[in-house]
Chain A
Amino acid sequence: MRGGNSLKRAIVAGFIAGLASGIVFFISRFNGWWDLFSFNPFAPPFNIQKMASYDIIMGITWGIIWGILYAIFYDFIPSKGIGKGLFYGLIVWTISILRGSVVSAAYGWFNWAVPYTLSGFISICIIYGLLIGYLYKPTK
């Protein structure tokens, strides 16, 4: 990681990008594809407030952690600016979401894994990636 305020900048950028990503994940639950694959024997008995808290807490917490890692590996991520952020979002989505979904699908949770993967793609790969790429600028 570069010196100066890089860590502080990464935490702030990660917080904002994570918050936005959490909100988008929550909204994406109502776009219809979770209903398309709705058969789920252990459907969580969440109400809307709990669901929103869940998505936003996860978004902020992991947004900060991913932001710190983004700053650490900044020079090794291909591309520049927003492209760099999108590339990083794709890596995070592959490791954190896609693999978890494949494991869950293999254990019989296919109906949950598909919409989770799609919502994760939009909220992490696109929204988080775009924002972290736009917001985080390392000190020279």
Chain B
Amino acid sequence: MKISNTLMRGFYAGLIAGIVAGISLTSGRIIESMLKLLSAEVILTLDFIIAHFGYAIGATAIFGGIFGAIYSKFYHGIPGKGVKNGFVFGLLIYLLSNVYQSSRELINWLLTWEDIYFKWIFSWGLALYVWIPYGVVLGFLYERWK
């Protein structure tokens, strides 16, 4: 399959990469809860898993598509080619999205010493397992659909 419009290619590649990232996000949250990590959200229930799957896949796919369209604009400014290029873009999204939110919780925690903020520093910060698969799949599909 070939998509000549770079914006649409980025959007569709991002949409699929977002679905993969959404599955990875939910799987990661389940593993965090099973291992009782500090970043774990809640006690693991079937309802939580189903709801989280719905939200994570839906929201991450939509944002994945939007970020994919942005990727198509910055493609030539990111180092590397194909999968490596996508991987670097995934790390950039992680920095701007999750590290940003994590730093917000860090300052909240430093100002209030509330435990909930300490937990959220890790909850946002550990989510590298979302954006690495996203970037890799995005880079791969974007290159393949050229």
List A residues at the B interface (Cβ < 8 Å): 42, 44-46, 50, 53-54, 57-58, 61-62, 65-66, 69, 72-73, 75-78, 91-92, 94-96, 99-100, 102-103, 106-107
Cβ of A44 and Cβ of B77 under 8 Å apart? no
Known: A54-B111, A72-B77, A99-B97. 4 other contacts (CB 8 A): A76-B76, A77-B73, A95-B67, A102-B63
Cβ of A73 and Cβ of B41 under 8 Å apart? no
Residue in B59, B66, B92, B107 whose beta carbon sits within 8 Å of that of A54 in the complex: B107
Residue in A57, A78, A100, A107 whose beta carbon sits within 8 Å of that of B100 in the complex: A100
Residue in A66, A76, A103, A107 whose beta carbon sits within 8 Å of that of B74 in the complex: A76
- State how many residues of chain B have any CB contact under 8 Å with chain A: 26
How many Å lie between the Cα of A92 and that of B67 in the bound state?
11
List B residues at the A interface (Cβ < 8 Å): 41, 55, 59, 63, 66-67, 70, 73-74, 76-77, 92-93, 95-97, 100-101, 103-104, 107-108, 111-112, 114, 116
Min distance, Cβ A53 to any Cβ of chain B, angstroms: 7
Min distance, Cβ B97 to any Cβ of chain A, angstroms: 5
Cβ of A44 and Cβ of B67 under 8 Å apart? no
Contacts of A54 in B (CB 8 A): 107-108, 111
Given contacts A61-B103, A73-B77, contact A100 B59 (CB under 8 A): no
Cβ of A78 and Cβ of B96 under 8 Å apart? no
Cβ of A58 and Cβ of B116 under 8 Å apart? no
Cβ of B103 and Cβ of A95 under 8 Å apart? no
Q: Smallest CB-CB separation from A94: which chain B residue?
A: B66
Contacts of B77 in A (CB 8 A): 72-73, 75-76
Cβ of A99 and Cβ of B73 under 8 Å apart? no
Residue in A58, A72, A77 whose beta carbon sits within 8 Å of that of B107 in the complex: A58
Jot down 21 A-B pairs with beta carbons below 8 A, ordered by A.
A42-B116, A44-B111, A45-B114, A46-B111, A50-B112, A54-B107, A61-B103, A66-B96, A69-B92, A73-B74, A75-B77, A76-B76, A77-B73, A78-B73, A94-B70, A95-B93, A95-B96, A95-B97, A96-B101, A102-B63, A103-B101
Q: Smallest CB-CB separation from B96: which chain A residue?
A: A95
Cβ of B100 and Cβ of A62 under 8 Å apart? yes
Residue in A76, A94, A102, A103 whose beta carbon sits within 8 Å of that of B73 in the complex: A76
How many Å lie between the Cα of A73 and that of B108 in the bound state?
31
Contacts of A44 in B (CB 8 A): 108, 111-112, 114
Residue in B63, B112, B114, B116 whose beta carbon sits within 8 Å of that of A99 in the complex: B63
Min distance, Cβ A14 to any Cβ of chain B, angstroms: 14
Contacts of B70 in A (CB 8 A): 91, 94-95
How many Å lie between the Cα of A75 and that of B100 in the bound state?
24
Cβ of B100 and Cβ of A103 under 8 Å apart? no
